[in-house]
Amino acid sequence: MMDPGASFDEALHRQPLPNGPRPGWEDYFMQIARVVATRSTCLRRQVGAVVVKNRQILATGYNGVPRLLPHCDERGCLRDRLKVPSGERHELCRGLHAEQNAIVQAAYHGVAIQGAEIYCTHQPCAVCAKMLVNCDIGAVYFGGDYPDQLAMEVFEEAGTRLVFMG
């Protein structure tokens, strides 16, 4: 019920939103990264990434094979067959990481990502960390962990802001 003494604008601001409180920007972009991850066909881990600048989405990526190749759910996983632990022997994987695919998508479409930030469902690996540093990504927001201490050292040495969002 509207307070008779309140202005219309005040009354509007007091109304609860039907889906709960509005998420902050960081949570909003991380939620989008989680949705992007659902496109992954990796048999081990579904990862999503969203590149953002000035609160605008510039590119997205998820882990998966290059264009036109059969997906892992169709062909199988060599790393699984060889029992390669997570975080090791990246060269045996046919897929690219979500961060790599986001960078590739931005380049493919001619979108500059210098000075942007990235939201990743998981901590980037060392290879992705080096690529993100070279792209001048200023901040990395990430959820789940990934067994790669070198990546954290690369980000720290480069002065990249890291935000763990659990």
Phi, psi of 161, rounded to the nearest 5 degrees: -75, 130
Q: Which residue has the tokens 């190749």?
A: 69
Strand ranges for 16-156 from DSSP E: 48-53, 56-62, 117-122, 139-144
115 CB-near residues (< 8 Å, 6+ apart): 53, 136, 138
Q: Give residue 166's Cα distance to chain centre.
A: 13
* Residue 99 is among the residues annotated as catalytic for this protein: yes
Q: Which of 10, 99, 117, 156 is catalytic?
A: 99
Q: Which residue has the tokens 């992705």?
A: 128
* Consecutive H or E run containing 32: helix 25-37
Catalytic residues: 99
